[in-house]
Amino acid sequence: MAITLTEAAARHVSRYMERRGKGLGVRLGVKTSGCSGLAYQLEYVDEAAPEDVVFENHGVKLLIDPKSLAYLDGTELDFVREGLNEGFKFSNPNERDRCGCGESFRV
């Protein structure tokens, strides 16, 4: 099982943690939400929970709770700029459908 960060995502996370002045990495998870059933959750963390599974890419730690890992296996997290918008983009091979608003997905 693996989850990866692109160089662009790692740069963005590193810059943000530098501005914060602290941080261990980013926690990625899923929660029940939206019209398709699941939504991604992303938060900066200062310490790992005992049950977290930790991946490291380009010097940035990505922490995943075991329950979310099955939904996220193989996911690549990127940071993209499209026109005036920028944000994280999830490329998840387990996704079968995504709602029209882009807020939730189904596996």
Q: What is the CATH number of the domain that holds 46?
A: 2.60.300.12
Range of the domain at 93: 2-104
- The domain tally of the chain equals 1
Q: Side chain identity at 78, as an amino acid letter?
A: D
Instruction: Tell me the average pLDDT of the chain.
Output: 87
Given a cut of 90, whether residue 17 has pLDDT beyond it is yes
Given a cut of 90, whether residue 28 has pLDDT beyond it is yes
pLDDT tens figures, 31-72: 887 665 888 899 999 999 999 999 999 999 999 999 999 889
Least confident range of 31-40, 53-62, 76-85, 95-104: 95-104
> Do 24 and 47 form a contact (C-beta atoms < 8 A)?
yes
**Which residues, 6 or more positions from 50, have their beta carbon under 8 angstroms from its beta carbon?**
none
Token digits of residue 34: 């939206």
| pTM of structure | 0.82
Percent of the chain with pLDDT over 70: 87
